[in-house]
Structure 1
């Protein structure tokens, strides 16, 4: 959408058949569109680990951004406060804060390469891997929670890099493999704990 208000209005339109719990505008304005206790239709056919219906197990946050610019500081501050509250209310650990691009490979690209995941991780609101001994990239990504179908290796690498190596280009390399190995070792998907997407 061309504006946060346009996105908000579309998410409130029954004809759109899409919704989210929250929308955050560039200036930090926050709208709650759906009660956290209710299902929102923000992830589509999204999957994460053993969760095949992300919409039923998540709180969805839409953040207004074109994808080509950094997220504004007021927006990030509101996101941080919102995440703290959601994570506390629902007992959601930092490794269960994911992007739409993480749970809908090749179909969703938000929040994109410009969201500062490291900033969130430094506050315990997301996670950030360290380089480890390179392993089997696809296997380690699956152990962490990514759900990739046969033939989705390019989409898996793109989603992974959008989040953990947004500056990286080219084919899969040992840095990708090492980061994925650390994710699998430190934050393996173990249960159907709810998500923030």
Structure 2
């Protein structure tokens, strides 16, 4: 099986493709933000959260992320040309995820590294992410994941950890491409034949929970879950009713990558500093780097 075979990442039982050769890390511009603090109860990050800025330009986003009055930040921002800015040390807790959860982890900011991609979001027509930007992201992900031994299943979107509250990086983000590069997980499963007896909504609830998703236990909250799963695993279905195709993909991901609290490390990376995992809830509205028109002023 060649390295170009999509089955290594896109469904089936093949394991994620190992990171064999380190690409050159992106050239990083240091631009320090004052908006950060110590990680709480965690010695090392164990997940990565990807955002879009939802602002009209990278310059405006950088200004906001570095503004102490805004009380938001991220570890990195990548502009449309691939320019990469480091705003907060990876050892520190940036304020990007806000009220969020993944599996048992409720203080996502303490457990994660946040990466902002300059993109105007829905207000600007949600343009595709430029090739130079995604190339820089892949190189940055390689370096971060190797440094901290973060497995592909813990590279997430803001919409994954804040179901119903956030929708970035949106349905145009190339998750399948990242999975083929070894930096995320993906399934190309199709609806089974014959169809299961259970409706897809039931299957999505069961397997979404096993995978790590958390949502409000209301009809509206479940609709938010379906949309989050669509954006992540079946972006062409975003906004449509729940399907057995989507349920099959989420079921495969839940079977292969059930959520944990971040203790398990990937096999291909060297050991990294780690500590006892502790889950602590953030104060409401804490550190949420959604920068655009629906920006909520969140406090650390």
Smaller-chain TM-score bracket: over 0.9
Cα-to-partner distance string for 1:85-128 (whole Å, 9 max, x where unaligned): 11000100000000001000111111111111111100101110
| TM-score, normalising length: structure 1 | 0.94
- 1:164-175 matches, cutoff 5 A: 164-168=233-237, 169-175=239-245
Higher relative contact order (CA 8 A, sep 6+): 2
Once residues 113 and 27 of structure 1 are traced to their aligned partners in structure 2, the CA distance between those partners, rounded to angstroms, is 21
2:140 maps to 82
- Residues of 1 paired with 2:258 and 2:103: CA distance? 9
Structure number with greater Rg is 2
C-alpha distance after superposition, 1:55-85 (max 9, x if no partner): 0000000001123211001100100000001
107-116 vs 82-91, which moves further = 107-116
Q: Does 1:26 align with 2:80?
A: yes
Calculate the TM-score normalised by the size of structure 2.
Answer: 0.62
- How many residues get paired? 194
Q: 2:120 aligns with which of 66, 73, 81?
A: 66
Provide structure 1 residue ranges, at least 5 long, that are not aligned to the other structure: none
Q: Which residue of 1 aligns with 2:102?
A: 48
- 1:125 equivalenced with 2:183 (yes/no): yes
Greater helix fraction, Structure 1 or Structure 2 = 1
- Give the drift of 1:193: 4.4
**CA RMSD of superposed structures (Å):** 1.5
State yes or no: 1:149 paired with 2:207: no
Query: Relative to 1, partners in 2 of residues 1:54 and 1:193: Cα closer, same or farther, differing over 3 Å?
Result: farther
Question: Match of 2:59?
Answer: 5
Aligned mate of 1:97, from 155, 160, 183: 155
Kindly state the Cα deviation for residue 167 of structure 1 after the two structures are TM-superposed.
Answer: 1.2
Compute the displacement of 1:149 (Å).
2.1
Structure 2, unmatched stretches of 5+, are 1-54, 265-300
